[in-house]
Amino acid sequence: MIAKSELKEKKESPSKKVEKKETECLNSTPPKCNPIGPLTPFQRRDEAYEIRENAAQYQRDLPLPNHPCNGDENLYSNKIGNFTKTLPHNELGEVDINAYNVYINALTTGNPDIFETIPLGGSRKLANPQASYAYDLMGPDSHHLTMMIPPTFNSAWRVGEMAEDYWSALTRDIAFTNYDTSCLTIQAAADLSKFSDFRGPKENGVVTTQTLFRGDTPGDLVGPYVSQLFYKDVTFGNKTLLQQYNSPVVGDDFMTSYDEWLSIQNGDEPSSSISFLSTPRYIRNGRDLGQWVHVDFTYQGMLTACLILLGFGPLALDQQNPYLNSRTQGGFVTFGAAFILDFVAKAARVALEAAWYQKFLVQRVLRPEAFGGCVQNNMTGATNYPINQELFDSSVLPKIFSKYGTYLLPMAYPEGSPTHPAYPAGHACVAGACATMLKAFFNEDFVIPDPVVASPDGLSLLPYSGQDLTIGGELNKMASNIAIGRDLAGVHWRSDSSEGLTLGETVAIQILQDYKDTYNEDFNGFTLTKFDGTTIVVG
């Protein structure tokens, strides 16, 4: 017999067993796996490098653009034509020149330490000016894109846009469906028609209640003011979202007293807040739309639009999609839902980089609220700024004064505009880029089923009957809604919005250009209609 002590010696301890298994694993040879595919690993590595190099070389070889500005910064020593919010100001709302010079020095040098020395007039901070120097690894470099010259401070073009902002403040609570019958919107259209350089859409040379506060892209003037992509239910995973949103109470306007206005220009926090109705509404008027673009995240609208369009099925996809007629395959990572959603998000930040470069390093255009302070001081005789006479001949200023007791621009947000310059509008750039992406991936001629329009109270959706509403037209309209919604709130000019859409469109097209050679599928390129109505193929 074997003694118990001998059995104990022969028995391996648990730790010995673990050590033995680890040794076996280290000494074993893993099964060899040979990846399959048309290229060897070395060939794949070199081709990936070549694709990246070609994309970079394409961007590098594009002609270097000029970067024109309107010249106001050099023309006015008190900087009345430029963005100065958050810096200290005197009682007229004119910026402290020493503070402005530090701000310009920081922007000129790009030195992070100098940015930390910019004098502020209150607690609010400048919104990320150093983003204007950022590089990206796809699409165009932000410094390689240009824009047209914005309106000058003293131009007829500028005061036409200011009158539009005044009228949009007076009409914020009028339902879009009532524009044809409201005395205020009828007066607004007639008054804007008198400005010699108003550049909003017109019918037979005049602004009408059908064109009032609308964009001027294909589809903008067709059907209801608000895009169907703001009304349709959104399939968000396993939840359906109704597009009803918090709606501010009627007449909830801000910054109409001079002391409040000056405090906000200096960067103080607002002393009041927005009040809301108890029941959410569908977007039915300018106040609702202005509040939607007050709190949305960067590409929220175009994300929900993408989800809605995907829900329309294969017929809504672009007809060049290589999987539409495949017998054995469907798209997903490429040319499917994951692919499209990713490109919408990709475009948003690159578009913002392009906007921030123009805002801080090229244009530095003042916000409408600041111009309103200039109008107020001229009307009281405190100043004699060179504001074009057409604004003082307009019927809008007496109406503003009659309702609010000042000539300041009534704002929909208690804090007024964001703390970055006006031109171009960031919302517009993002909307333009993302809408362009979606037009590249979906069938622009697809007719949206069961169109609707919000009831005047915003509590329900009513059937719409009229001219067909297409994906292309409603994407354009949604982009304009997002852009002009900021104008309706008082924080932007029309030119910020229209030119922002175009800048975003350029960003998206160049991102598509960078990616055109990265696919294995038989693919003839991305076809889309630009905001100016021309059709292009990227491929």
Q: Which residues are catalytic?
A: 420, 427
Which structure tokens are listed for 60? 């590098």
Measured between alpha carbons, how far is residue 80 from residues 96, 104, 244, 306, 479 in Å? 11, 15, 40, 41, 31
Picking from 68, 47, 57, 70, the residue whose alpha carbon sits closest to that of residue 141 is 57
In this structure, the strands spanning 234-236 and 239-241 are antiparallel
**Residues 276-300: b if buried by 16+ CB within 10 A, e if exposed:** eeeeebbbbbbbbbbbbbbebebbb
CA atoms within 13 A on the CB side of 381: 0
Residue 397 CB contacts under 8 Å (≥ 6 apart), including other chains: 166, 375, 379, 391, 407
| CA-angle at 184, arms to 180 and 185, nearest 5° | 40
Beta bridge pairs of residue 538: 526
Instruction: Name the nearest CA neighbour of 129 among 152, 107, 146, 147.
Output: 107
Radius of gyration over alpha carbons of the chain, in Å? 28
Are 369 and 375 in contact by the 8 Å Cβ rule? The answer is: no
Token reading at 470: 């297409």
**Residue 136 and residue 141: Cα distance in Å, rounded?**
7
What b/e readout covers 18-32, taking b as 16+ CB neighbours within 10 angstroms? eeeeeeeeeeeeeee
Of 431, 219, 439, 437, give the one whose Cα is nearest residue 319.
Answer: 439
Distance CA 525, CA 513 (A): 9
SS (H, E, C) 290-345: HHHHHHCCCCHHHHHHHHHHHCCCHHHECCCCCCCCCCCCCCECCECHHHHHHHHH
User: For residues 121 and 266, is the Cβ–Cβ distance under 8 A?
Assistant: yes
